[in-house]
Amino acid sequence: MGTLRNCIVLIGLVAHVCAALASTDCKSTVERITIEVGAKDKSGAAVELSSGVTFFTNSGSAHYGSILATAETSMTLGESLTARFAADGVRCDTKARRTDLVALVRGNRETSAMAPISSTTTVVTTPSADSAASASVPQK
Count helices and strands in the chain by DSSP H and E runs: 2, 9
Distance CA 95, CA 56 (A): 13
Mean pLDDT of 36-49: 88
> What whole-number percentage of the chain has pLDDT above 70?
60
| This prediction's pTM | 0.62
Q: Distance (Å, rounded) from C-alpha 13 to C-alpha 51? A: 36
Under the banding of pLDDT at 50, 70 and 90, the label for residue 20 is low
Q: How would you classify the pairing of strands 123-125 and 134-136?
A: antiparallel
Asked whether the predicted pLDDT for residue 56 surpasses 50, the reply is yes
What value does the mean pLDDT of the chain take? 73
Domain annotation for the chain: domains and CATH numbers: 22-122 (2.40.50)
What's phi and psi for 61, nearest 5 deg? -70, 140
Q: How far apart are CA 119 and CA 140, in angstroms?
A: 10
